[in-house]
Structure 1
Amino acid sequence: MSAFSTATVNRLDQWLMQAAPPANTVGFTRFCWEFWFFGLKQARACLFVALFFASVLLVPRSGIMGIPRYDMLLVLALLIQFWMVWSKLETVDELKAVSLFHLVGFALEVFKTSGAIQSWSYPDFAYSKVFGVPLFAGFMYAAVGSYIIQIWRLLQQRVVHHPPYWMAVVVALLIYTNFFTHHYIGDYRWYIAAATLGLYARSVVYFTPLDRERSMPLLLGFVLVGFFIWLAENISTFMGLWNYPNQLGAWSVVHLGKWSSWSLLVIMTFTIVAQLKYVKRRIDVPR
């Protein structure tokens, strides 16, 4: 990526953070202004996601210049990640959070695609496959972490009535563990979801789409992000990036139940990012 593109993104960030509506803007007009800038900031926060997703759409299944598709996607993902850190769009501490989620996601992928489980599969050949999973797969999870990091800054988010950190960590661990253990001892997703509902019931996220602070229940934010990840998953499976067993003969919509799985995974990602970004200073934790 060129220095020009880096400067452009930095100027865009500065403009988004300092923009204000015309004087005396009220009512529906103000709503439109705020909604427009909320969308712009969401799109900007999805920079890593957008660049990586563009790679998925543009790299043909046959690969490029003899390089298999999965290997090319790995190279492009590494270049995007390097550029974001080099250009200071992500800090080294933020990279730690993204990398941790990459590892957590990759471990889950290895388990889910193993011979005993086979929840989904990666059908194409790649030199970069480890235990049957192409290394680029971890970046799909890291992209979620990158989005949360970027949107936190752009919307100047702060969380009020966040649950005690040890409780949040315990719930995150239970969410992650259940992805593995439900194959053996039953799926306790809805019990964990109920506990999460109680834990975050009072949590409110404050954000600034334009020049005034707004708020929404934190749980609603988790569900909305999970929904958009579910949409992206449908596009990815349609492109043949990976397949669920029911998609081997012909593509079909990913089961709606995956939405709940992604929403829970977003909560886990949020906890990781919150810990490694040291955002406790912007969170009101009950004593």
Structure 2
Amino acid sequence: MKHLKNLFHFGFQQTMSCLFPVVIFLTLAFTKYIEIPFIARYDLILLICLAVQILMILFKYETADEVKVIFVFHLIGLALELYKVQMGSWAYPEEAVSKVFGVPLYSGFMYASVASYMCQAWRRMDLQISSWPASWIVVILGAAIYFNFYTHHYIYDVRWILKLLILLVFLKTFVSFTVNKTTYFMPLTLSFFLIGFFIWIAENIATFFGAWAYPNQQQQWEIVHIGKISSWLLLVIVSFMIVAQLKHVKEIRNHVETVTADQ
């Protein structure tokens, strides 16, 4: 009974952590079926995303540090979108004032919403990481994963090598999370896969509502290829690495400041 109660509590905390992604999905659905005059759909989505982000800050739903992380993800995601659209990986077919080189600016918020979820879940369920690898290893591996999204168009795609390295680097790393005063443990690599899988589901919903379209979806919607889980898995890992590394650095800084103040 206790664990069943904790399951519902876990679901509630997950739902609260997903507020920003949920708003984006609702916006995509709303704007697909209801046309607003005098404003392009992509422009309207951008305005709604901006408004929600501002409200989340004003109502302190997100902390100042979380906003900084989310902004970094927005820039990283937007850069990847600009490149991938130019390479023909996917497209945004609708017209809008806020499109830059074929990419609507709202697209960066979709990546930012992933960061928002991670930050919210981390705080709400008191995530703790044990046996976190050396910072230099995390930075190099994260950079290699991210830049492989760019380089695989020209040279060999090393994603499977990177996945093997991830298993080796994070073999002893576990994440703990607290639900209703009960602490649970999970291998970090398993959490990577689970988040990547659910983002793939979210991607199917997003493409169905016309957030973007892959080449095979130009004429009519089709389910996103299962292989895309692999891409999202790697992107989730990069996202988690950035959030975890920033929190790790902050903890070290806070510890140093505490020790200095006590002396």
For the aligned pair, the TM-score class normalised by the smaller chain equals over 0.9
Aligned to 1:263: 233
- Does residue 1:74 correspond to 2:55, yes or no? no
- Does residue 1:38 correspond to 2:15, yes or no? no
1:96–1:276 Cα contact (<8 Å) kept: no
Aligned to 2:206: 236
What is the 5 A alignment of 1:100-111? 100-111=72-83
Aligned to 1:150: 120
- Does residue 1:209 correspond to 2:209, yes or no? no
What is the 5 A alignment of 1:178-217? 178-217=148-187
DSSP-derived class of the 2:182 partner: coil
Which whole-Å CA distance do the structure 2 matches of 1:80 and 1:133 have between them?
21
Aligned to 1:54: 26
Which whole-Å CA distance do the structure 2 matches of 1:248 and 1:68 have between them?
19
1:242 shift after superposition: 1.0
Which whole-Å CA distance do the structure 1 matches of 2:211 and 2:20 have between them?
18
1:73 shift after superposition: 0.5
Aligned to 2:147: 177
- Does residue 1:250 correspond to 2:220, yes or no? yes
Structure 1 residue identity aligned to 2:147 = T
Identity level (%) = 46
1:175–1:264 Cα contact (<8 Å) kept: yes
Aligned to 2:255: none
1:270 shift after superposition: 1.1
Structure 1 residue identity aligned to 2:80 = L
37, 45, 53: which one aligns with 1:65: 37
Which whole-Å CA distance do the structure 2 matches of 1:209 and 1:53 have between them?
26
Aligned to 1:166: 136
DSSP-derived class of the 2:152 partner: helix
Which whole-Å CA distance do the structure 1 matches of 2:232 and 2:133 have between them?
21
> Where does structure 1 differ by over 6 angstroms across 4 or more consecutive aligned residues?
none
Computed over aligned residues only, the root mean square deviation of the Cα atoms, in angstroms, reads 1.4
DSSP-derived class of the 1:76 partner: helix
Structure 1: gaps spanning 5 or more residues: 1-28, 283-287
2:32–2:209 Cα contact (<8 Å) kept: no
Which whole-Å CA distance do the structure 1 matches of 2:34 and 2:2 have between them?
49
Aligned to 2:84: 112
1:278 shift after superposition: 4.8
DSSP-derived class of the 2:140 partner: helix
C-alpha change, 1:160 and 1:280, in structure 2 (3 Å) is farther
Aligned to 1:87: 59
Which whole-Å CA distance do the structure 2 matches of 1:99 and 1:214 have between them?
30
Which whole-Å CA distance do the structure 2 matches of 1:30 and 1:92 have between them?
35
Which whole-Å CA distance do the structure 2 matches of 1:32 and 1:39 have between them?
11
Aligned to 1:15: none
Aligned to 1:285: none
Question: Under a length normalisation based on structure 1, what TM-score does the superposition of the two structures give?
Answer: 0.85
DSSP-derived class of the 1:159 partner: strand
DSSP-derived class of the 1:214 partner: strand
Deviations 1:53-101 (A, max 9, x none): 1111111367412211100000000011111111111122211110111
1:266 shift after superposition: 0.8
DSSP-derived class of the 1:49 partner: helix
87, 100, 103: which one aligns with 1:130: 100
DSSP-derived class of the 1:207 partner: strand
